[in-house]
Structure 1
């Protein structure tokens, strides 16, 4: 039995934190419902059997749980519910990071049976590998989830969108679809952010959505690999979502390029996962939760949630107190507040901040990229930052814009740092410094 409390966060989704429905000292079973939405959101279930010892506005704490409790020992969902109700009861969210409730996404059937349901199998973040691992080892579960959602939404067609560089996964999908006349395999461009929802819609459906527009406008719905797996489990096994697949890598002693862990109970911390790869290799930089592009710097005791994609230990950050930074914000990677924090960690002075020319406000005022993955030349932006006194340009941009910035910074006598540099170096992945011909 474990004495240290397991923390199950009450916000693991889009929307406000959930409301606890358990009490202190209450004994709960794995899979038992312990918190419900307070507005938009999803149910949260106990990831272990144990005793409730703490309830705050942020989490529910469980003690006296057994780390070796069998995963098939859980409280099942109501078998009398229909498919969509089971997905809602199970607490299925977009497991790729967005955290949008799946039951809401699939609640409205397509008219005239002309819609498309798409599996996002891009595994776009470099160093993360668990979605491709799932496809290589058990694609059938994912495929059944797609077929269930095609049935629920009256979709005419299904699509599995991935990259041919994942050769084994690509061939696995192609073979599985030989007997599926209404489902096709789509070969995505090998670039970041090919896994962005609007990029997938653009490539698969040939429709460019404006910032803020939803895929349903293109008569399409997109979910990632693990989301479809969780849908199948909810429908067939009556299983709530209480585990997560993820990748652990970076400056660690075992598999620095990334080790995949499947079905890790929610609430297990980064510290515990790093122990499973024999600890870190000092000196280290920040811990990123997620991938090199979209990951966020977090504490080592950060618990796993339904949207955790990975734990990557970065290289030590540079001490650049003599440098003057110019920042370029991007929706596809790091926006200005995150770059500002990163510059502060490197002790650099920020002398200028600009957004990519593609950034524009959506209907809610949020800055969005109007054409993700296709970036205009950045020479004027870089030149403005140089005139502000910048000696180094700090970016966290998509692959296309990194290319355009990398092309001009050397000619202006400027240094270039990408947010992802420190995690990519740690995982042995090449940096995003490709300079294409103009």
Structure 2
């Protein structure tokens, strides 16, 4: 069942051309960070275009619990009156982060160097996800943690009373872990250093600098070395959140596989640490173009136009690109099903510990819909059947995972028989307008068993 209520079965049927403009929601990663850093600044931060999905709303509620004044002005406009670095109050109640791995890990980092005690929980999916990858480096600052076996929620963190700066090498590529350590370093004296062997999305570094923190990044033989000077006074900002490339991926990929489609997705963030999917799709032969390229709030932005692409080819995806598109592999596998030949995806072990085991979830569902898939611990191969040759007809388990649910609903738009999901409820965590937006383009999604 859904972490936010009773299961909501959904199905998607083959449809005519998808056409029009897809105004997808604001970027989830940037929305989380804007709320958290706004709460750690002194004064009022104004945010427009905030994603108002459940994940981000849970982060907003958490910032209120820590003492910040967070106000919804309507239409994606929000303000945050911050309490300053080290100014978090101890919450009166448990912090429930719902389904959001990003939210809980970033908030843990933000509070870990303040002398407060906080208990975190989440929905059934989040409570099964490993947190040791974050709590281990936070312990180096002096924070103490007590949680369930395997480092899982519910979990209580006792923040460090006298934090010390750390130098930490991230063992696996993870923007969440990097960001948690940097946020913890804000309230530690001296310089906190994070080393990542493979570069991950850099929204935290960009936004920290925007709020006035001294943060540098240098590529060395060790990898990317990010250095943060602790105990700054963060200054409030006016932030325009670009639209989420991970959400845009669904409308874009649907347009590529549904005959006759022509969809414009405006104002999409094209941070190079996030745009790997679009590069990969172009390598597969997708008719995908960038229009009106520009910078907004330090982030590269463009309007994406996606058109039906009949001659998609399977490719071997560059493993070095994995960190820049880790959330997009489920929908990429759907496009791969309609390509000719094998699409090979390696270096993606991180998919095993997302909201679900995304390799297993997608492989199982694709096989049920007539697509051959091979898989290993950190790789998988989708053997494409070509345009018009995916049978469909199965109902797939979403595993409380919004991206799995949306990916299979996109599959149904071009398969020869309807494709269902057992629970589409989790879609609201990241993309609450998914159904009406896709219907407005011409999709045929229905609810009910």
TM-score by length of 1: 0.30
Task: Give 1 or 2: higher helix fraction.
Answer: 2
Decide which structure has the larger Cα Rg and report it: 1
Task: Give 1 or 2: higher strand fraction.
Answer: 2
TM-score by length of 2: 0.29
